[in-house]
Amino acid sequence: MRLVVGVGDLQVSGDPDDSIVTYSLGSCVGVCIYDPVARVGGLLHYMLPESKISPEKAAAYPYMFADTGIPALFRKAYALGAVKGRITVRAAGGAEILDAAGLFNIGKRNLLELRKILWQNGMMLGHSEIGGTVNRTVAMEISSGEVLLKTSGHGMSRL
Amino acid sequence: MKRTREILEKVDALPPFPAVIHKVLALLQDPLVSAERIVEAVRYDQSITANVLKVCNSALLGGTQRVSSLKDALVRIGNKPLIRVILSAGGSDVLQKEVPGYDLERGALWRHSILCALLCESLCDVFGYGRKDKAFTAGLLHDVGKVVLSEFVGREYGKIRDAATAANFTFLDAESGILGVNHAEAGGRIGEKWNFDADLVNAIRHHHDPAKGDPSALLFLMHFSDVLCLTSGIGGGADGLRYNVDHELLKAHGIGSKEFDLGMLRLADVEHDFRGIVAMYG
């Protein structure tokens, strides 16, 4: 089955027939995690770095923010049998509008938060396509953990 | 330039904006106008009626009773939402198309346009703007120039992209440089051809460079709304996020980094609330 992850949403699966896709990441970040032994994968599409900007939104939509969404993504994958030491983490997105003043650098702050959370948990960010000014779509095959990336106006590649 | 002329000829060849929507916009000048009068104005238009019924009957809006007339629709979804559905239905024939030059599949431009429209409406309070319906219309139609430019951008996409990245230009400047006209200017000309009022044309024409337009709350909120939508990537295409944000202007309206993030949350809100309608069309 094809599981679609909306904005501020996540999906995990251990079914080899599943693929998980999220469309059109701008400054938002798509985090793909995969355990190749358990063959469990997950994809989170978050919009903003920190939930403290709106605790009430975070309570209703925890996957909207990096600091509430990323831990939830891992917890859900663990529940399906994934093991921390085996999980690889890849990411796409974090693009930015041209803003000379750098006031609205949501993409940069989103990526910084991801790195910070991974670092605090002793994990590394693997192969990623991040930053720039492009829109990206990512899809993960649960059977293989392969992640396909479509960059608007540039075609397909593998992450 | 030959190409510029070719593009402007395309603008002239566009079908007219549905007269019935003009009628609706005129009625909406009166903020207290009843939905009954609006229904009266559109009830003879097949495509609008069909679209309204389709949206109202979508499972995503809930309920079990089917809507079979515009009057039912009014009772079911209420005055304001119905006006939005009617305005969206009016623009759908033009905006629903695939826009391959910008790598936008069928429905993507429509999705961006609807979200931007809803966000414009939601941001009226930030800019002290009272005409929510007009803000909605500006958001809905701000990128209509892309429909005309698509074919030309598609042919020259490599050149435009390279010009933009090599000189660190915006996609808009690269369009102007390579094609002679950019999509915002083309949109402004379409608005004129469709007899939109000057303020609406101004908001469409300068949504990427508001400092060059006539200062107006509608233009400013249009710019902010589009910047937020582009940033999110929702319905975004090959031009990506290669556009400027006028941070001076936003700062003058009290919008800093935190307010920008809150704007993104408003976008998330309208995206959630109207996923049903967007999914129906998209």
Question: Is CATH 3.30.1330.200 the right assignment for the domain spanning A2-158?
Answer: yes
CB contact under 8 A, A24 and B231: no
CB contact under 8 A, A104 and B247: yes
Among all residues of chain B, which has the CA nearest to that of A56?
Answer: B265
A28 in B contact zone (CB under 8 Å): yes
Question: In Å, how far from its chain's centre is CA B191?
Answer: 12
B268 in A contact zone (CB under 8 Å): yes
Task: For residues A52 and A40, give the distance between their C-alpha atoms in angstroms, rounded to a whole number.
Answer: 30
Strand order in the sheet with A29-35: A9-13, A40-46, A29-35, A88-93, A128-130
B24-42 pLDDT per residue, tens:
777 777 777 777 888 888 7
Q: Which domains does chain B have, with CATH numbers?
A: 2-281 (1.10.3210.10)
CB contact under 8 A, A96 and B241: yes
Q: What is the pLDDT tens value at each position of chain B, 282 positions in all?
A: 668 888 888 887 777 676 777 777 777 777 777 778 888 887 777 667 777 777 777 644 555 667 777 777 777 777 777 777 777 776 666 777 778 888 887 778 877 888 898 899 899 999 999 888 889 889 988 998 998 888 888 888 888 888 888 878 899 999 999 999 999 999 999 888 888 889 999 999 999 999 999 999 999 999 999 999 999 998 788 899 999 999 999 999 999 999 999 999 999 988 876 665 545 443
Q: How far is A139 from chain B (nearest CA, A)?
A: 16
Smallest Cβ–Cβ distance between B235 and the set A24, A48, A57 belongs to A24
Among all residues of chain B, which has the CA nearest to that of A50?
Answer: B261
CA B197, B34, B130, B192: dihedral to nearest 10 degrees? -10
The answer to whether the Cα torsion of B89, B275, A50, A28 is positive or negative is negative
CB contact under 8 A, A27 and B233: yes
Region A12-38 average pLDDT: 97
Residue written as tokens 């293989």? A144
Residue written as tokens 């120039």? B145
Region A18-36 average pLDDT: 97
A100 in B contact zone (CB under 8 Å): yes
The domain ranges of chain A are 2-158
Helices B46-56 and B79-95: crossing angle in degrees, nearest 10, is 120
- Phi, psi for residue A43 in degrees, rounded to 5: -140, 130
Determine what percent of chain B falls in helix, strand and coil, rounding each to the nearest 5.
70, 0, 30
